[in-house]
Amino acid sequence: MNINIYYGGRGLMDDPALLVINKMQEVLEELHVKVERFQLHELKNQITTLPQTLKSADGIILATTVEWYGIGGYMQQFLDACWLYGDKEKIEQIYMCPVVMSTTYGEKDGEMHLITAWEILGGKLCGGISGYVADSTQLEMNQEYIAIIEKKTENLYRTINQKPSGLPASSQALRKILSRTKNIALTPQESEQLSQYASDDSYVQRQKEDIQELTSMFKDMMGDAEENENGAAQTFEKAFKPQAGVKAVYRLFTGNRKEPLTLDVSGAELSFSHDSAAPADVEVHMEKSTFEDILAGRMTFQRAFMSGEMKMKGDFKILRMLDQLFVFSDPQ
């Protein structure tokens, strides 16, 4: 069983939410659960990529602290990213346990916010933990409170194991209505810039002129592009390090090219194609410069993904195998 913890507080030492999830993690690890924690305040520049980490999770814990009002910006950004970029089919299978501790007022409102958001995303729910703590030492030293946290954590473990059925909720119908418009694969920053540019007539006119000028250039470049792609395939062949039992199909889109480079790995065998219709385990999109940096060994696939220079769809575990299958520069 895999459970991810997403902490949306500020990371203060006396944050009661931290005390709660520390205890929950301790109990889960005693139950032989694999726990991975994501501190959103440390990953604030990568929040839009974090929904990809849900793919390996059976359950998650969303933990935050109400310090004055609401669940805080980091947690809201994560929920927004789940709606915009998350795999809704995978989210439907994930159980969520909300943990909201308050040092002021509003822990119940915060818990309900997380519950409603996760229901609209289509996910499943577990019983949560919420409470008001004026002094975190009271929580840490009170054995009755610790016993409650342990009991709630054990219930979370049982719920994910047993996967109980539930009646349909109105939020599921709401999600279908809200998701009728197909999402565009853009980051929030790119979406904001696009809306500004689209309303600027002079910018649109300049773009049309640039397109006309570049059309003739692209015709001359097609021959060079084909040659570069053959060179990329040869580079992959040289860097290929077969891994026993690994079978995966990777589809790579670079720059503005419509035809992908598809890598089919089956044990010690590697084949290439430009098929964009066949099923792939992982599909990645990146700029040509990022692709060239990876082939030259200046960048890894994992670093490109975590920095936001590469976008992906598919199985996150299989994506991480790319850097093991293709080593473009041996460590010195």
Residue at 33 is within a domain: yes
Residue at 164 is within a domain: yes
pLDDT tens for residues 23-70? 999 999 999 999 999 999 999 888 999 999 999 899 999 999 998 888
Q: How many domains does the chain have?
A: 2
- The CATH number given to whatever domain includes residue 158 is 3.40.50.360
* Whole-number Cα distances in Å, 47 to 12, 73, 131, 187, 306: 20, 11, 26, 10, 10
Nearest to 128 by CA among 159, 104, 87, 103: 159
pLDDT tens for residues 272-286? 888 777 789 999 999
The answer to whether 294 and 252 have CB atoms below 8 angstroms apart is: no
Helix, strand or coil, per DSSP, at residue 245: coil
Residue with tokens 């003739």: 216
Residue at 214 is within a domain: no
| End-to-end Cα, the chain, rounded Å | 38
pLDDT band at 181; cut points 50, 70, 90: very low
Residue at 290 is within a domain: yes
Question: Which of the pair, 197 or 116, is modelled with greater confidence?
Answer: 116
Give the C-alpha separation, 327 to 187, whole Å. Answer: 29
pLDDT band at 94; cut points 50, 70, 90: very high
169 & 82 share domain = yes
Residue 39 CB partners (closer than 8 Å, separation 6+): 7, 11
66 & 158 share domain = yes
Give the C-alpha separation, 128 to 130, whole Å. Answer: 7
Half-sphere exposure (CA, 13 Å, Cβ side) for 71?
28
Average of per-residue pLDDT across 293-306: 89
Buried b (16+ CB within 10 A) or exposed e, 183-217: eeeeeeeeeeeeeeeeeeeeeeeeeeeeeeeeeee
Residue 235 pLDDT: 87
167 & 266 share domain = no
Tell me how far the alpha carbon of residue 34 is from its chain's centroid: 18
Residue at 190 is within a domain: no
Residue 149 pLDDT: 93
69 & 145 share domain = yes
Residue 316 pLDDT: 84
- Other C-beta atoms closer than 10 Å to the C-beta of 147 total 10
Give the C-alpha separation, 45 to 154, whole Å. Answer: 33
37 & 139 share domain = yes
174 & 256 share domain = no
Residue 33 CB partners (closer than 8 Å, separation 6+): 1, 2, 3, 157
* Whole-number Cα distances in Å, 327 to 7, 238, 242, 300, 324: 34, 9, 10, 9, 6
Parent domain of 88: 2-178
pTM to 2 decimal places: 0.54
Give the C-alpha separation, 166 to 59, whole Å. Answer: 16
